[in-house]
Amino acid sequence: MLVSAIIRVTFYLAISFFILLATEKTASENLKKFGYVIAVLFWIGAALVFSKGLASFYVRNCPMKSRPAMMMQHKQMMPAPEPNKPMMQ
Protein backbone atom coordinates (compact mmCIF):
# COMPACT_ATOMS: atom_id res chain seq x y z
CA MET A 1 0.00 0.00 0.00
CA LEU A 2 2.84 2.37 0.75
CA VAL A 3 4.39 1.90 -2.70
CA SER A 4 1.07 2.54 -4.40
CA ALA A 5 0.62 5.68 -2.26
CA ILE A 6 4.07 6.92 -3.26
CA ILE A 7 3.27 6.36 -6.94
CA ARG A 8 -0.02 8.27 -6.65
CA VAL A 9 1.65 11.11 -4.71
CA THR A 10 4.31 11.40 -7.41
CA PHE A 11 1.58 11.56 -10.03
CA TYR A 12 -0.29 14.31 -8.16
CA LEU A 13 2.86 16.35 -7.62
CA ALA A 14 3.82 16.02 -11.29
CA ILE A 15 0.39 17.27 -12.34
CA SER A 16 0.63 20.21 -9.92
CA PHE A 17 4.09 21.04 -11.30
CA PHE A 18 2.73 21.28 -14.84
CA ILE A 19 -0.24 23.32 -13.62
CA LEU A 20 2.15 25.77 -11.95
CA LEU A 21 4.31 25.85 -15.08
CA ALA A 22 1.29 26.70 -17.22
CA THR A 23 0.16 29.23 -14.63
CA GLU A 24 3.46 31.11 -14.88
CA LYS A 25 3.08 31.38 -18.66
CA THR A 26 -0.38 32.93 -18.47
CA ALA A 27 -1.02 36.64 -18.56
CA SER A 28 -4.47 36.62 -16.95
CA GLU A 29 -4.48 37.22 -13.19
CA ASN A 30 -7.71 35.30 -12.67
CA LEU A 31 -6.32 32.28 -14.47
CA LYS A 32 -3.15 32.48 -12.35
CA LYS A 33 -5.20 32.47 -9.15
CA PHE A 34 -7.24 29.53 -10.42
CA GLY A 35 -4.04 27.64 -11.28
CA TYR A 36 -2.62 28.24 -7.81
CA VAL A 37 -5.84 27.02 -6.19
CA ILE A 38 -5.87 23.86 -8.30
CA ALA A 39 -2.18 23.22 -7.53
CA VAL A 40 -2.83 23.61 -3.79
CA LEU A 41 -5.74 21.19 -4.03
CA PHE A 42 -3.45 18.66 -5.71
CA TRP A 43 -0.90 19.16 -2.90
CA ILE A 44 -3.58 18.58 -0.27
CA GLY A 45 -4.73 15.47 -2.13
CA ALA A 46 -1.15 14.20 -2.33
CA ALA A 47 -0.69 14.78 1.40
CA LEU A 48 -3.90 12.90 2.18
CA VAL A 49 -2.95 9.96 -0.04
CA PHE A 50 0.53 9.81 1.47
CA SER A 51 -0.76 9.99 5.05
CA LYS A 52 -3.29 7.21 4.32
CA GLY A 53 -0.50 5.09 2.84
CA LEU A 54 1.70 5.66 5.89
CA ALA A 55 -1.15 4.92 8.27
CA SER A 56 -2.02 1.67 6.53
CA PHE A 57 1.66 0.72 6.47
CA TYR A 58 2.15 1.27 10.19
CA VAL A 59 -1.20 -0.09 11.31
CA ARG A 60 -0.88 -3.01 8.92
CA ASN A 61 -4.45 -2.54 7.78
CA CYS A 62 -4.05 -4.92 4.88
CA PRO A 63 -7.09 -6.63 3.31
CA MET A 64 -5.25 -9.96 3.39
CA LYS A 65 -4.77 -9.66 7.15
CA SER A 66 -8.34 -10.72 7.85
CA ARG A 67 -8.08 -13.81 5.66
CA PRO A 68 -6.44 -16.10 8.27
CA ALA A 69 -9.04 -15.00 10.80
CA MET A 70 -11.81 -15.87 8.36
CA MET A 71 -10.26 -19.29 7.75
CA MET A 72 -10.08 -19.96 11.49
CA GLN A 73 -13.70 -18.89 11.89
CA HIS A 74 -14.70 -21.21 9.04
CA LYS A 75 -12.88 -24.14 10.66
CA GLN A 76 -14.59 -23.49 13.98
CA MET A 77 -17.98 -23.57 12.30
CA MET A 78 -17.32 -26.97 10.67
CA PRO A 79 -18.10 -29.91 12.94
CA ALA A 80 -15.11 -32.05 13.85
CA PRO A 81 -15.28 -35.64 12.60
CA GLU A 82 -15.94 -38.27 15.23
CA PRO A 83 -12.84 -40.38 15.93
CA ASN A 84 -14.49 -43.84 15.56
CA LYS A 85 -16.69 -42.98 12.62
CA PRO A 86 -15.33 -43.27 9.06
CA MET A 87 -15.31 -40.02 7.10
CA MET A 88 -16.83 -41.50 3.92
CA GLN A 89 -20.07 -43.46 4.13
Note the pLDDT tens digit of each residue in 53-67: 888 877 775 555 555
Could you read off the pLDDT of 25-44 as tens digits, one per residue? 999 999 999 999 999 999 99
Of the candidates 42, 47, 44, which has an alpha carbon nearest to the alpha carbon of residue 17?
A: 42
Biggest CA pair distance of the chain: 88
Domain-located, residue 67: no
Residue 53 lies in a domain: yes
Alpha-carbon gap, residue 31 to 33, rounded angstroms? 5
Report if residue 25 sits inside a domain. yes
Total count of domains within the chain: 1
The model's pTM: 0.62
Could you tell me if residue 30 is inside a domain? yes
